[in-house]
Amino acid sequence: MINFVEELRWRGMIHDVMPGTEELMLKEMVTAYVGIDPTADSLHIGHLVGVMMLRHLQRCGHRPVVLVGGATGMIGDPSGKSQERNLLDEPTLRHNQECLKNQLAHFLDFASEIPNKALMVNNYDWMKEFSFLGFIRDVGKHITVNYMMAKDSVKKRLSGDGEGMSFTEFTYQLVQGYDFLQLYREHNCKLQMGGSDQWGNITTGTELIRRIAGGEAYALTCPLITKADGGKFGKTEQGNIWLDPERTTPYQFYQFWINVSDADASRYIRIFTLRDRQEIEALEAEHAQAPHLRLLQKALAHDLTCDVHSEADYNSAVEASEILFGKGTTETLRRLDEKTLLSVFDGVPRFNVAPAVLSDGCNVLDLLATHTTIFPSKGEARRTMKDGGVMINREKVTEETVITTQNILNNRYLLAQRGKKNYYLVVVADE
């Protein structure tokens, strides 16, 4: 049995671990779980740390359990800034759960008949029938309010001059703790993992298991993923980076990882890929020699894009990136067939312009600021052009440039570019 705790340790994925965990996991196959809120029908990369913990767990020969927080997700965890949530109706909940499972299947083996095959459970299943009286009698009486109030997440909310905390939120740790107890009883689950902000909630669970079941359970938390520049991990101006290709295209997903800063790349590659220590250290040495090649970012982007999407998606993302950031010219653009063109610019904002607009030629200013909203005003478009920041079909334009039907690619498209990174696809068609 591979030493799971050691594996996470060198990867920098351990923030805190309860004494005895490592010994236990060397001795026997351990069932461990991570909770995920089913608030959407897709995971985003913020979830990936927990997923990777489970993935390593399974690879080390232990049994991973994903707990979908159908019940707890309705309450809202007071750890962190979360606000109280809306109730999900059951069909939505089930739908989300299915979608999450499909995504998780890229990382965890739910299917094979192996002793440590992954399992997914939903706490809504055991919480929905639990009556309030039942809960306070069977669970609540084993934990003192004093104990609950000593948790950091609670103390912060009680002391600060913030909004205070509702009873519902206060109860959250008990509900989560009960989940752990339930899994302990049903599946002999002895370990709960999560982000470092979950420590308090997890230990409420181990406490319940000790008091109610007389059992021994453990906790392991991972540091919260940060960015070297202080920004929030996994967020871009466009919002979350999702695993669902409908929400975040494979190209955007790939780009996210390619653009990770050097300072973060070393940490991320340990956390988000399965590469072993030797290989990573070799890569780092190479990267230090030739940082401009960005080997770490490329390895990260490769592994994740292939894991989450597919090899083919990875290849077209690389191809798209070469066209966009490489030596792509009007000529290369003209050579692209419609299908490739569309896949390269999938997810790029689109604008529709009637063919009549171009038939007699149209000044770029009007095209970019009147017929489309690529620029909010002509003044701004003019200024950016003066700086050489506007390109049509990858050719710089000035305010005198006139766009005609001659410029159209594949009978339908114009590629407008604002600065180096902002692309817009103008579709020339009646609609």
Partner RNA sequence: GGGGAGAUUCCAGAGCGGUCAAAUGGGGCAGACUGUAAAUCUGUUGGCGCAGCCUUCGGAGGUUCGAAUCCUCCUCUCCCCA
Find the part of the chain contacting RNA (CB under 7 A) among 86-94, 174-182, 201-209, 290-298: 290-298
- Positions in 237-276 near RNA (CB under 7 A): 237, 255, 258-259, 261-262
CB nearer to RNA: pick between 95 and 394: 394
Site string for RNA, 204-243 (x = CB under 7 A): -------------------------x-------x------
> Least distance from C-beta 285 to RNA, angstroms?
15
- Residue 287 annotated among the catalytic residues of the structure: no
Q: Stretches 73-81, 88-96, 308-316, 377-385: which one binds RNA (CB under 7 A)?
A: 377-385
Q: Which of 129, 387, 400, 430 binds RNA (CB under 7 A)?
A: 387
Q: Which is nearer to RNA, 227 or 247 (CB)?
A: 227
Choice between 3 and 259, CB closer to RNA:
259
Instruction: Give, for 265, the enclosing helix (H) or strand (E).
Output: helix 262-272
Among the listed residues 83, 231, 99, 232, the one whose alpha carbon sits nearest the alpha carbon of residue 157: 83
Amino acid letter, residue 94: R
- Exactly one of 138, 197, 244, 303 is catalytic; name it: 197
Stretch that binds RNA, among 179-187, 210-218, 302-310, 373-381 (CB under 7 A): 373-381
Give the pair of three-digit tokens for residue 227. 């960015």
Residue 377 binds RNA, judged by CB under 7 A: yes
Taking CB under 7 A as the criterion, the residue among 16, 350, 421, 429 binding RNA is 421
- Whichever of 229 and 431 has its CB closer to RNA, that residue is 229
Burial 338-352 (b: 16+ CB within 10 A, else e): eeebebbbbbbeebe
Residues 6+ apart with CB under 8 A from 363: 399, 400, 401, 402, 403
By CB under 7 A, the residues from 132 to 151 that bind RNA are: none
- In angstroms, rounded to a whole number, what is the distance separating the alpha carbons of residues 257 and 265? 9
Write the CA distances from 120 to 184, 186, 250, 375, integer angstroms: 14, 13, 26, 48
Q: Please say if 378 is a catalytic residue.
A: no
Q: Which of 251, 244, 282 is nearest to 44 (CA)?
A: 244
Amino acid identity, residue 419? G
d(CA 411, CA 375): 24
Distances (CA, A) of 154 to 113, 141, 170, 388: 42, 19, 7, 54
User: CB of residue 166 vs RNA: minimum separation in angstroms?
Assistant: 25
What CA–CA distance (Å, rounded) separates 392 from 397? 7
- Rounded to the nearest whole angstrom, what is the least distance from the CB of residue 342 to RNA in the complex? 19
Residue 22, token pair as written in the block: 């490592």
Stretch that binds RNA, among 99-107, 185-193, 210-218, 378-386 (CB under 7 A): 378-386
Among residues 19, 162, 230, 376, which is the contact residue for RNA, using CB under 7 A?
376
Q: Is residue 156 within the footprint of RNA (CB under 7 A)? A: no
Q: Select the residue interacting with RNA from 383, 405, 410, 412 (CB under 7 A).
A: 383
Which of 429, 409, 358 has the alpha carbon at shortest distance from 366? Answer: 358
Question: What percent helix, strand, coil does the chain show, rounded to 5?
Answer: 50, 15, 35
Residues 304-363 close enough to bind RNA by CB under 7 A: 321, 325
Instruction: Classify 34 in phi/psi space as left (phi over 0), alpha (psi -120 to 50) or beta.
Output: beta
Residue ranges binding RNA (CB under 7 A):
229, 237, 255, 258-259, 261-262, 291-292, 294, 297, 321, 325, 365, 369, 376-380, 382-384, 387-389, 418-422
Active site residues per annotation: 39, 44, 47, 81, 85, 176, 197, 232, 235-236
